Amino acid sequence: MGCNGQPGNPLRAARKRLGLSRDELGRLLNVSGRTVSYWETGRKLPDPRRASALRSRLELSEVDLWRALHRPGPKLAAERRRRPW
């Protein structure tokens, strides 16, 4: 289980572990808090430069960040239900 009892939310868990809000992390990465939310929920992926900065700020290994960013988000999960191939 991740933070707040939500399974599979490693980015949110890492951010919370460091005591950062979405807006605070966004300011550190020069993006909005909404963009951070999109990354956490799997709606969007950061560009490579921001992914590197995100990994550094959240103190994650490259493997952990890759796993966190490539887990199915709600949009992708819904798409897979419609088209399972």
Q: What are the structural domain ranges in the chain? A: 3-82
> What is the chain's alpha carbon radius of gyration, rounded to the nearest angstrom?
13
Beta-carbon-side half-sphere exposure of residue 62 (alpha carbons within 13 Å) = 3
pLDDT of 5 strictly over 50: no
Q: Write the class of the CATH domain 3-82.
A: mainly alpha
- Residue pLDDT, tens place only, 24-69: 999 999 999 999 999 998 888 999 999 999 999 999 999 999 888 8
Top-confidence range, 8-12, 31-35, 76-80, 81-85:
31-35
Cα gap 32→52, rounded to integer Å:
17
pTM for the predicted model, two decimal places: 0.74
Cα gap 60→78, rounded to integer Å:
28
Beta-carbon-side half-sphere exposure of residue 59 (alpha carbons within 13 Å) = 8
